[in-house]
Amino acid sequence: MSIRSATANTNGVDVVTKQEAAAAVRHAKVVTGVTWEQLAQAIDRPLAWTTAALLGQHPMSKDEAATAAALLELGEDVALAFQLQPTRGALDSAVPVDPTIYRLYEVIQVYGPTIKELIHEQCGDGIMSAINFRLDVQRVPDSAGDRVVITLDGKYLPYQW
């Protein structure tokens, strides 16, 4: 599967944006039945990193991009887009409208000040890195209804004055 973009053609390969590539990935996952976990295993990267990369938030190496594109039955145009340096940030508006993303926004609205206070009390005057960072999402069975556990694991960065 290849994407035809309105942008220029370079050396016989259509130029595809990271956003167009992300849309192609979502479509190809449905068509092929390939899971995010299978993609992560194929490129030997963490699940959350792989998912974010294929949704346009990280650049992939040439080999990673080629492997993912082949597994999803996508063309060289999309594999090239996977390798581009991204403009990070995936929200189209300041307040997200997707219910799942909005709930995370709501968590930060309600618990953001608490998280900040606890970081300062436990670590000192500083922040959690979103660059030196790991993310994990797990479904955990619970008798009262399954739970979602999201782990945000960022390096502590002290302010240096």
Q: Which of 4, 26, 73, 129 is catalytic?
A: 129
Label residue 25 exposed, middle or buried (CB < 10 Å: 0-12, 13-18, 19+).
buried
Annotation says 139 is catalytic: no
Of 106, 117, 134, 147, the catalytic one is 106
Q: Is 11 left (phi over 0), alpha (psi -120 to 50) or beta?
A: left
Q: Does the active-site annotation cover 61? A: no
Spatial distance between the Cα atoms of 21 and 56, rounded to a whole number of angstroms:
7
Q: Residue 78: name the closest of 4, 6, 7, 11 by CA.
A: 4
Burial of 32 by CB count in 10 Å (0-12 exposed, 13-18 middle, 19+ buried)?
middle
Q: Which of 103, 117, 134, 147 is catalytic?
A: 103
Q: Please name which of 18, 19, 13, 10 lies closest in space to residue 2, comparing C-alpha atoms.
A: 13
- Active-site residue, 129 included: yes
User: Residues with catalytic annotation?
Assistant: 103, 106, 129
